[in-house]
Amino acid sequence: MSATTGYYVAGSSWLHRRNPLTKLLALALVLLSAFLLPPIVLVVLVVVIVAAVWSAGLLRPTVRAMRIPALLLLSILVVNSLFFPGATDVLASLGPLSITRDGLTFGLISAGRVLVAFLASVAFLFTTLADDMLETLIARGASHRISFVILSAVQMVPRMQDRAGSILEAQQARGLSLEGSFVRRIRSLVPLIGPVLLGSLVDVRERTFALEARGFGARPNRTAYRIVVDPPIDRWLRLAIIGLCLGVVVVAVTGFPR
Amino acid sequence: MSEDETRIAAPLRTDGLAVRYPTKKAPSLEGVSLEVGRGERLGVAGRTGAGKSTLALATAGFIPRVVRARLDGRVMIDGLDAAAAPADALLGRVGIVFATPANQLSASKLTVREELAFGLENLGVPRAEMDPRIDGTLDRLGIAHLADREPFALSGGEQQRVAIASIVAMGTTVLVLDEPTAQLDPAGTAAVADLLDELAKAGAAILCAEHDPSVLGRMDRCLVLDSGRMVALDVPGTALALAAEAASLTPPTLVRLAEAASLDLARAFDEPAVAAGLRAWADAGGVARELAHGATTATTAAAAAAGSIAAPPLPGPAWTPARERAPVRVAVDGLVHRYPGGVEAVRGASLRVDPGEAVAILGQNGSGKTTLVKHLNGLLRPDEGRILLDDVPTDGRSVAELARTVGFVFQNPDDQLFERSVEREVAFGPRNLGIATADVANLVVGSLAAVGLLEERTTNPYDLDLSRRKLVALAGVLAMDPAVLVLDEPTTGQDVDGVERVSAIIEAFRGAGRSVVAITHDMEFAARHFSRIVVMRAGEVVADGPPGLVFAPGNATLLASTGLTPPPAARIAARLGLDTVPLDAAALLATLRS
């Protein structure tokens, strides 16, 4: 992962070839469906997304990228199963802890939603160049400031990871120990997180100056060097996706047919 | 052309420029009036905090539009009042490049070609015109071979040249640079200086804030700032001599040589001329001239020439050991290190550092210097070979444990500063080591005194400028009372004062029987304060010996293959065909007199 390409995995699969806007809309559709439609839809979404990344040859990097979110999903599941407030329908007990039906159900749904959100975002980031996204948004009339914020957000994680490595080394060299009790470990986070945040501010200032010097956003009649592909099929796809999004919202607002 | 017409034609002009930041009491710039004509390179020198960056920001039209500050007087760019003109109007007239190469690029482009296109897109240049303009710029600046490379895979020197090209492609007539070579190796620095020459020939007006005499010496004129005011504005040799006198500091070596032999200071950076002048001076008896500035008598000047006058004393004491500790021997034995992906960064390096030694490691970026030294405190582990401290292998000992013996100061202080006061920051390391509270207090005071920041003990580190933040980071490691001090680029971003401080600490450390290992790109710093020079190339140690041997004329080819050149005094001596290798001006003059 580099600062230039973020999470982008070079390739020419059918997902790579879609226009960034098409993929952004598809991402919106997935998120709307995951959070507004009945939970059973989550299963369909997971199957569809996994099939899509598999057909694009990205199954392996996707699984690798899910390792850290997996911990989050697991904790959502465990915490809800055990500590869901007001739930009494006990399924199983282990000493003072008991798993409740309501808790387990809620945990599964929440974890499912987060899983879908992560999978869809990863599929988007893996197949979309940040710069293409930027060009597309600007060409569609988005303000350069909004585009810049999106671009920075995409690039921030790799940058911070880079810096975090150097900071960890610098503080270890000053005798910071990352072992010991839980409290000790939590305390050792302060000298690590402090420089990430403070240093990022210094970094952002310099980078903003550099963009300013290159005239980013100074003139309304911006031109584009890079040609972002937009095959005819994408226009039809976008129309279909927008229709589906509206459909999801209508169904959610009017109540589900029972 | 009359003088008035020249005045109008100068693309960059300031009249009585004054800048005051809202958070500061004193103005950061005051009464600066200057002109930079077409094809002219104006260097801006001065200590850290003298106002160089502020002048750069103001002349690039960033104050008050981007950086909030009160601006009095005027900055005229191509006949436009920079403070009043809209951003759009200045675009394509003036551009600025800062110190950190990676931050100068848009960070989203896959090729250098696209990077250059970015500025043109923002200007609204039609796409059909872009490629010719990009190719023209890359050709003119001699970096056409980089066109299809990924900007982030380039070296710092290449990135900096791409950043300059990106500004130039926009058609700018005024180019402002704020310490463009501060983070580059000698080869990168020379390449950027060459590029500025090309730009000036093509008619650009260039204002370049710099510390490096090798870059300043190539400018047409040099402005020296002190506390925001103009101290000198003259040809580089004269201006730097005046500046050194005003601050009672040693001028750059070539200037000092030219002064001693009464040469024309305008030619102080013309090495063949300096060599010829020194030969004539030596033939005529080699009497050091009574220096034009100061009340220097002939005797003291001669004594200075013989090297018996020490550098001017620094305010505050140098470092003294707060506690006794046994010396430690360091040995690197057949070290091999591979990064994930199989790149061999260090390929079988061996090295010994005895107590009381100071070893400077030189080499181009990417030669494996940092990878090597990161093994000394266990940040990296050898793939082959061993690291021994007093003949005991470091295998299995944690970084935190090795930190008791080996202190490591990183290049970028912002990777470690996090406390709300300088004092707390410096106490962080010794506290981690579990040193007794009373001792910690002593160590903190001692190290802050050594870096000259005792008075800033309650200041937030981020309120200090970069050079002083670097000194805080150094103090933070000194306070851990290590037996071996490892420094990564201690002089980058430092002015002459800062370099003197770091040098004094290195000398004091050696004097106390401890040892220092430093990575540096500053040949003169290495030659003057280190007992041994180790040169690395492509992961191997290619030279190891005292400076007088490593910088000998016989090694010129080897050094050139690593992108290095001997320090100025040694270069002049080689031109004169001397068989000794003087490491500074005083030594060279003494050799010539005898």
- Give tens-digit pLDDT for B40-64: 999 999 888 889 999 999 999 998 8
What pLDDT band is residue A6 in, cutting at 50, 70 and 90? Answer: low
Instruction: Using a pLDDT cut of 90, give the percent of chain A over it.
Output: 27
Angle at B527 between CA B414 and CA B523, to 5 degrees: 55
3-state secondary structure labels for all residues of B350-414: EEEECCCCEEEEECCCCCCHHHHHCCCCCCCCCCEEEEEECCEECCCCCHHHHCCCEEEECCCHH
What pLDDT band is residue A55 in, cutting at 50, 70 and 90? Answer: very high
3-state secondary structure labels for all residues of chain A: CECCCECCCCCCCCCCCCCHHHHHHHHHHHHHHHHHCCCHHHHHHHHHHHHHHHHCCCHHHHHHHCHHHHHHHHHHHHHHHHHCCCCCCEEEEECCEEEEHHHHHHHHHHHHHHHHHHHHHHHHHHHCCHHHHHHHHHHCCCCHHHHHHHHHHHHHHHHHHHHHHHHHHHHHCCCCCCCCCHHHHHHCCHHHHHHHHHHHHHHHHHHHHHHHHCCCCCCCCCCCCCCCCCCHHHHHHHHHHHHHHHHHHHHHHHCCCC
pLDDT at B288: 62
pLDDT at B307: 38
pLDDT at B6 over 70: no
Chain A CB contacts of B377 under 8 Å are: 173
pLDDT at B290 over 60: no
Per the listing, tokens 């999004």 go with: A245
Token pair belonging to B383: 């793939």
A69 touches chain B (CB under 8 A): no
On the 0-12 / 13-18 / 19+ scale of CB atoms within 10 A, B545 is middle
**Using CA atoms, how far apart are residues B582 and B566, in angstroms rounded to an integer?**
10
pLDDT at B83 over 70: yes
Instruction: Summarize pLDDT for B231-263 with one digit per residue, the tens.
Output: 999 999 999 998 888 777 778 899 999 988 888
Distance from CA of A22 to the nearest CA of B (A): 21
Domains of chain B plus CATH, in order, are 3-240 (3.40.50.300), 248-312+566-594 (no CATH), 330-550 (3.40.50.300)
- For range B268-275, the mean pLDDT: 91
How many residue pairs bridge chain A and chain B with CB atoms within 8 Å of each other? 168
Instruction: Using a pLDDT cut of 90, give the percent of chain B over it.
Output: 51
B84 touches chain A (CB under 8 A): no
**Using CA atoms, how far apart are residues B359 and B544, in angstroms rounded to an integer?**
9
Token pair belonging to B533: 């020079």
CB contact under 8 Å between A175 and B433, yes or no, is yes
The span from the first CA to the last CA of chain A, in angstroms, equals 47
Identity of the amino acid at B426: V
A143 touches chain B (CB under 8 A): no
pLDDT at B3 over 60: no
Closest CA to B527 of B509, B555, B552, B556: B552
Strands (E), B245-367: 330-338, 344-353, 358-362
pLDDT at B319 over 60: yes
Q: Which of A41-50, B95-104, B358-367 has the lowest mean pLDDT?
A: B95-104
Closest partner residue to A175 (CB to CB) among B166, B432, B462 is: B432
Instruction: Summarize pLDDT for B167-202 with one digit per residue, the tens.
Output: 999 989 999 999 998 888 888 889 899 999 989 998
pLDDT at B39: 92
Alpha helices (runs of H) in B78-170, residue ranges in sequence order: 87-90, 112-123, 127-140, 156-168
On the 0-12 / 13-18 / 19+ scale of CB atoms within 10 A, A253 is exposed
pLDDT at B359 over 70: yes
Identity of the amino acid at B290: E
pLDDT at B7 over 60: no
The verdict on ipTM greater than 0.85 is no
Any bridge partners for residue B72, and if so which?
B18
If one compares B541 and B244, the residue with the highest pLDDT of the two is B541
Closest partner residue to A172 (CB to CB) among B123, B167, B400 is: B400
pLDDT at B295: 35
- For range B129-140, the mean pLDDT: 91
pLDDT at A5: 65
Note whether A163 and A200 are within 8 A (CB).
yes
Closest CA to A115 of A69, A54, A51: A69
pLDDT at A183 over 80: no
Interacting residues of B466 by C-beta distance below 8 A, sequence separation 6+: B48, B413, B493
Angle at B505 between CA B190 and CA B541, to 5 degrees: 50
pLDDT at B313 over 60: no
pLDDT at B309: 35
- For range B569-587, the mean pLDDT: 90
Cis peptide before A257 (omega within 30 of 0): no
- For range B351-368, the mean pLDDT: 92
pLDDT at B514 over 50: yes
Distance from CA of A220 to the nearest CA of B (A): 8
pLDDT at A155: 67
User: What pTM does this model have?
Assistant: 0.82
Closest CA to A10 of A132, A154, A136: A132
Nearest CA in chain A to B480: A174
Token pair belonging to B378: 């266990």
pLDDT at A3: 52
CB contact under 8 Å between A4 and B124, yes or no, is no
Q: Which of residues 374-433 of B touch A (CB under 8 A)?
A: 374, 377, 379, 398-400, 403-404, 407-408, 410, 412, 414-419, 428-429, 432-433
**Using CA atoms, how far apart are residues B343 and A117, in angstroms rounded to an integer?**
36
pLDDT at B364: 86
What pLDDT band is residue A11 in, cutting at 50, 70 and 90? Answer: confident
Instruction: Summarize pLDDT for B365-423 with one digit per residue, the tens.
Output: 888 999 999 999 999 999 999 999 999 999 889 898 899 999 999 988 888 888 889 99
Token pair belonging to A68: 């850290």
Q: Which of residues 451-480 of B touch A (CB under 8 A)?
A: 462, 476-477, 480
**Using CA atoms, how far apart are residues B520 and B541, in angstroms rounded to an integer?**
15
pLDDT at B156 over 70: yes
In Å, how far are B67, B387, B506 from B509, measured between CA atoms?
41, 22, 5
Which one of A4, A161, A189 would you mutate to disrupt binding with B, by most B Cβ within 10 Å of its Cβ?
A: A4
- Mean pLDDT of all residues belonging to chain B: 87
Per the listing, tokens 């950076």 go with: B269
Instruction: Using a pLDDT cut of 70, give the percent of chain B over it.
Output: 93
Token pair belonging to A189: 């986070």
Identity of the amino acid at A22: T
**Using CA atoms, how far apart are residues B586 and B304, in angstroms rounded to an integer?**
7
**Using CA atoms, how far apart are residues A113 and A110, in angstroms rounded to an integer?**
5
pLDDT at A197 over 60: yes
CB contact under 8 Å between B123 and A215, yes or no, is yes
Distance from CA of A235 to the nearest CA of B (A): 24
What pLDDT band is residue B302 in, cutting at 50, 70 and 90? Answer: very low
pLDDT at B289: 56
